[in-house]
Amino acid sequence: MGAGPAGLMLSHLLHLQGIESIVIETRSRDYVEHRVRAGVLEQPTVDLMHEIGLGKRLAAEGLTHEGIALRFRGHSHRIDFADLTGSAITVYGQQEVVKDLIAARLEAGLPLHFDVEQVTATDIDSSRPRVQFSVDGTAQTLEADVVAGCDGFHGVCRTTIEKALTFFEHTYPFAWLGILARTHPSSKELVYASHDNGFALHSMRGPDVTRQYLQVAPDEDIDRWPDERIWQELGTRLHDGDGFELEIGEIFDKGVTPMRSFVAEPMQSGRLFLVGDAAHIVPPTGAKGMNLAIADACVLSHAIGAFCATGSDEQLDEYTANCLRRVWRAEQFSAFMTALLHRPQDQDPFERRLQLAHLDYVTSSRAAAMSLAENYVGLPLVTPWAFNG
Ligand SMILES: Cc1cc2nc3c(=O)[nH]c(=O)nc-3n(C[C@H](O)[C@H](O)[C@H](O)COP(=O)(O)OP(=O)(O)OC[C@H]3O[C@@H](n4cnc5c(N)ncnc54)[C@H](O)[C@@H]3O)c2cc1C
């Protein structure tokens, strides 16, 4: 259930193992292919896209970055991923990953239903769970071995099994005001700036489009941010004494996104399995959300593969445990990056001094930089073929 990165990747990995699946999605194809969200692929996600035969456009259009800049006290400090880890990240929009996966599924003639309505999952404690939905006003029922709840944070799957779950949650006292602008990137790599006014991120979606963010209050009214104010504040927070010049252009999209950390445990009940944002949310500072959704899909595809091959539930039972180690690692890293870079609540000067001391450490100690780099470029994925040798 759901044709975001989690649902589409899972169905593709199942297809590669010869396992039948049906994907249903409440939105239109056009909507999911143009929804602008994440844009950073970890190295293991990039490798996976190539391994499953979907890396062609990614190789041509993705921007490989071998480092990021941490900017504070008006100076930039590069974290060199290539030197520290031998890996890199790739800037490639989530909607492009979604387009590649949808194209592959439709090309293979596999079922993918958009614009479905009235979706429910029932009988999940039986060995034949069911999914009911309607397409074009006609009610349908699917009977399956397994239902994968890949329906995002606001989907119905987590609610269906909420009595079996415990929620762990943290809401941050700020949000991100994000823009898309028609400008050349002002820097070859992502810039994470920690300024006394608050955090700013300079990133890009291609050679002609930038994606930039400002830390704002959680209840910020976007109407208080005309374009000139956004550019002025980005200029202030991103300023460095080393010649950085912010390119200004037409802003064609802007919005405020709240920041939260959330994990539902376990990520399963009966034969319903939660995958991606349906089970967990990270603040975007660590660029982990989409990568984590894809990592869950890898683990579940392996478990379903083992179930289909042997009839044993053993790997399905292990699904939560096999996901949670990575999930909590990403939660910790995302919370760490958020605390490291955002203006502390009430601008507490003591907290600010501690933050600057930590930034000094991360940018001067190879050991500290390596830890940040290792987490940022991503830990190895558990793919079905890694298990099967
Ligand atoms: C506004 C926003 C901005 C973000 N920005 C960043 C970022 O800058 N960097 C970053 O790393 N991460 C970001 N993220 C997080 C990242 O986009 C998500 O982690 C990622 O989309 C998770 O993929 P998913 O497939 O689990 O869920 P989703 O992408 O949410 O996909 C779930 C799909 O299920 C569909 N659906 C919902 N209900 C049902 C139902 N009942 N039946 C069938 N289908 C259903 C939805 O329409 C959707 O297509 C952002 C998220 C949001 C919401």
The residue-averaged pLDDT of 60-78 equals 96
- 135/139 Cα distance (integer angstroms): 7
Non-local CB neighbours of 308 within 8 Å, separated by 6+ positions: 17, 19, 145
Backbone angles phi, psi at 335, to 5 degrees: -65, -40
192 counts as catalytic:
yes
Q: What is the pLDDT of residues 316-356, one digit of tens each?
A: 999 999 999 999 999 999 999 999 999 987 778 999 999 99
Residue nearest to atom 11 of ligand 1 (CA): 287
Region for residue 230 given its phi and psi (left: phi exceeds 0; alpha: psi -120 to 50; beta: otherwise): alpha
Q: Which atom of ligand 1 is nearest to the CA of 257?
A: 1
For 326-377, give the secondary structure using H, E and C. Answer: HHHHHHHHHHHHHHHHCCCHHHCHHHHHHHHHHHHHHCCCHHHHHHHHHHHH
Q: What is the pLDDT of residues 220-254, one digit of tens each?
A: 999 999 999 999 999 999 999 888 999 999 999 99
The average confidence (pLDDT) of the chain is: 95
Residues 69/77, Cβ–Cβ less than 8 Å: yes
Q: What is the pLDDT of residues 148-168, one digit of tens each?
A: 999 999 999 999 999 999 999
User: Is any ligand 1 atom within 6 A of the Cβ of residue 25?
Assistant: yes
- Substitution candidate for ligand 1 out of 273, 290, 334 with most atoms within 8 A of CB: 290
pLDDT of amino acid 389: 40
The residue-averaged pLDDT of 358-383 equals 94
Q: What is the pLDDT of residues 265-305, one digit of tens each?
A: 999 999 999 999 999 999 999 999 999 999 999 999 999 99
For ligand 1, the distance from its centroid to the CA atom of residue 241, given in whole angstroms, is 38
Query: Active site residue: 44, 129, 284, 384, which one?
Result: 284
The residue-averaged pLDDT of 77-84 equals 98
pLDDT of amino acid 382: 73
288 counts as catalytic:
yes
Q: What is the pLDDT of residues 4-56, one digit of tens each?
A: 999 999 999 999 999 999 999 999 999 999 998 899 999 999 999 999 999 99
pLDDT of amino acid 344: 83
- Substitution candidate for ligand 1 out of 151, 222, 323 with most atoms within 8 A of CB: 151
Tokens read off for 8: 């589409």
Q: Using alpha carbons, select from 10, 1, 4 the residue that is nearest to residue 121.
A: 1
The β-bridge partners of 134 are 117, 139
Is residue 387 predicted with pLDDT exceeding 80?
Answer: no
